[in-house]
């Protein structure tokens, strides 16, 4: 099972987490997600009425080990890391790949990366960094979007109104499509 992670900020600058320079050692928040269950209660009602459920924002935390040849190299890579994970840059894109399945999610960095100062998280050849991301849309999506053209209507809106009136013509049935939502939630058309 091969896991890969890449973050691209709003300027298009990417950071690949690999075994040579930036190694993610802990990754939390990929699956767990808080749900907010909505209920309504009327006067004199026993219990309540279920309205619906919404998901909260997704919170993802990363623990990363920055590897370098010496203290100066680690400092240089640490500065680059901080530049990519700059909260002032707004939304970036986190791409998570496991085996052959890739998913992406938009995320904003919650704070400047934290670099713990303890001896077990900082030496001449490595530095541990902590980053927290918040994803306003909690859904992971496919790496590439798939757009399917559905039947369209054209022309026909002429006035004054004379009955029988045609307000539009559906294009040929050859353009009809069956669209299958492969996601985990309903998608409106």
Comparing 37-46, 119-128, 166-175, the range with the smallest average pLDDT is: 166-175
Residue 165 has pLDDT above 60, yes or no: no
pLDDT at 57: 94
> Which structural domain range is residue 39 located in?
3-142
In a domain, 131, yes or no: yes
pLDDT at 86: 95
In a domain, 55, yes or no: yes
State the Cα torsion 179-182-185-189 to the nearest 10°: -20
In a domain, 127, yes or no: yes
Taking Cα atoms as reference points, which of 89, 110, 178, 187 lies closest to residue 141? 187
pTM, two decimal places: 0.75
Rg (CA), the chain: 25
8-state DSSP, 122: B
For the chain, what is the domain count? 1
Could you tell me the pLDDT band of residue 108, with boundaries at 50, 70 and 90? very high
In a domain, 156, yes or no: no
CB 56, CB 36: distance < 8 Å: yes
**In the structure encoding, which two tokens stand for residue 35, read together?**
């749900």
The CATH number covering residue 114 comes to: 2.40.30.200
Q: How far apart are CA 47 and CA 39, in angstroms?
A: 10
In a domain, 182, yes or no: no
Residue 90 has pLDDT above 80, yes or no: yes
In a domain, 184, yes or no: no
Quickly list DSSP for 11-69: TS-EEEE-SSSEEEEEEE-SS---EEEEEE--TT-SS-EEEEEEEPPEEEEEEEEEE-S
State pLDDT tens for residues 24-50. 889 999 888 889 999 999 999 999 999
Q: Are strands 58-67 and 22-28 parallel, antiparallel or unpaired?
A: antiparallel
In a domain, 69, yes or no: yes
Other CB atoms within a 10 A radius of the CB of residue 185 amount to 8
In a domain, 173, yes or no: no
């Amino acid at each position: 099972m091969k896991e890969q992670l890449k973050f691209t900020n709003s300027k298009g600058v990417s950071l690949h987490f690999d075994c040579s320079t930036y190694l993610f050692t802990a990754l939390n928040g990929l699956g767990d997600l808080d749900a907010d269950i909505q209920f309504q209660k009327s006067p004199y009602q026993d219990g309540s009425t279920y309205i619906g459920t919404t998901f909260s924002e997704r919170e993802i935390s990363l623990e990363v080990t920055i590897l370098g040849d010496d203290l100066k190299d680690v400092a240089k890579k640490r500065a680059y890391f901080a530049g990519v994970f700059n909260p002032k840059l707004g939304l970036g894109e986190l791409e998570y790949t496991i085996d052959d399945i890739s998913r992406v999610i938009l995320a904003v960095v919650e704070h400047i990366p934290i670099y713990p100062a303890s001896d077990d998280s900082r030496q001449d050849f490595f530095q541990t960094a902590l980053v927290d991301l918040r994803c306003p849309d909690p859904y992971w999506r496919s790496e590439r979007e798939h757009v399917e053209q559905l039947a369209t209507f054209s022309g026909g809106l002429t006035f004054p109104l004379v009955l029988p009136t045609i307000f539009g013509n559906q294009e040929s049935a050859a353009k009809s499509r069956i669209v299958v939502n492969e996601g985990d939630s309903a998608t409106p058309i």
